Copies of this chain bind each other. A is one copy, B any other.
Amino acid sequence: MEDRMARTRSAAAAQDQEAERRPSLVDDAYAAMKQAIHDSSFAPGYQASEQEIALRLGMSRTPVHEAAIRLQEDGLVRVLPRRGILILALAPDDMREIYDVIIAIEGRAAELLAGLPDSRRNAVVAELAAQTDIMAEAWDAGDLAAWGQADAAFHRALVERAENGRMTRIVQTINDQSHRARMLTLKLRRELGASVAEHRAIIDAIRLGDPGEAQDRAHRHRLRARDELLPLLESFGLKHL
């Protein structure tokens, strides 16, 4: 009986709203292409034909075309009328734009978190602190991959716990755009150690319930990271990546 009710309820929910519809071919194409761009199987500047991609994915042109529209909306490719799909490159100026967006969004998120009521704020603080601890350990152990994962988790939590779906989505989109750059720079950067201290400063401000200070700390953290990254990229002559 409960069983039937449960099934009915979830079926209704699925119909109603947050349907986890099983992936369509369009979804497959979208995921495959995004993956290919992330791991540089599709290098920036490469001009692919929909036909060719469709063939490789074993589907017709239609779902590939529709996925390309979504990727264009995400800023990852450009669909050139009658000339194919162009994989977009990232210039240093794009990184400047991207960092400004992140500074804006994460700053506001930190501010919002610091304004939460005590109980929820403490839960958030605990989560952020846990990730930062993992970072510190990974740093000591020289485990760059673990460091990167925990850093990503910290920043993801920072935004997601502010419970603003639009802010979360914006940050995700922009992280997708800069994915290649992040992978590259993780290896280039020398000053990863500073992040732990800065994360803890952000956490402290949130713990104390000081929105202005939280915003400012988050702000400065990203600003410093950007100011270290951009010259690095330019000195390596990376006009586009």
The distance in angstroms between the C-alpha atoms of A71 and B164, with both chains bound, is: 20
Contact assessment for A21 and B66 in the assembled complex, using a CB-CB cutoff below 8 Å:
no
| Given known contacts A21-B81, A108-B107, A100 and B66 CB-to-CB distance under 8 angstroms | no
Stretch of A44-52, A123-131, A143-151, A165-173 on the interface side: A165-173
The distance in angstroms between the C-alpha atoms of A97 and B169, with both chains bound, is: 12
Contact with B along A82-115 (1 / 0, CB 8 A): 0000000000000011101101110111001000
The distance in angstroms between the C-alpha atoms of A166 and B97, with both chains bound, is: 7
The A interface, classified by DSSP as helix, strand, loop or mixed, is helix
Whether a CB of chain B sits under 8 angstroms from the CB of A69 is: yes
Q: How far is the CB of A80 from chain B (nearest CB, A)?
A: 8
Instruction: List B contacts of A104 (CB < 8 A).
Output: 104-105, 107-109, 167
Which residue in chain B gives the minimum CB-CB distance to A81?
B21
Whether a CB of chain B sits under 8 angstroms from the CB of A228 is: no
Instruction: List B contacts of A109 (CB < 8 A).
Output: 104
Whether a CB of chain B sits under 8 angstroms from the CB of A70 is: yes
Contact assessment for A108 and B100 in the assembled complex, using a CB-CB cutoff below 8 Å:
yes
Interface size on A, residues (CB 8 A): 31
Q: How far is the CB of A152 from chain B (nearest CB, A)?
A: 20
Which residue in chain B gives the minimum CB-CB distance to A166?
B97
Which residue in chain B gives the minimum CB-CB distance to A94?
B166
Instruction: List B contacts of A98 (CB < 8 A).
Output: 166
* A interface residues (Cβ-Cβ under 8 A, vs B): 19, 21, 24, 65-66, 69-70, 73-75, 80-81, 96-98, 100-101, 103-105, 107-109, 112, 162, 164-167, 170, 174
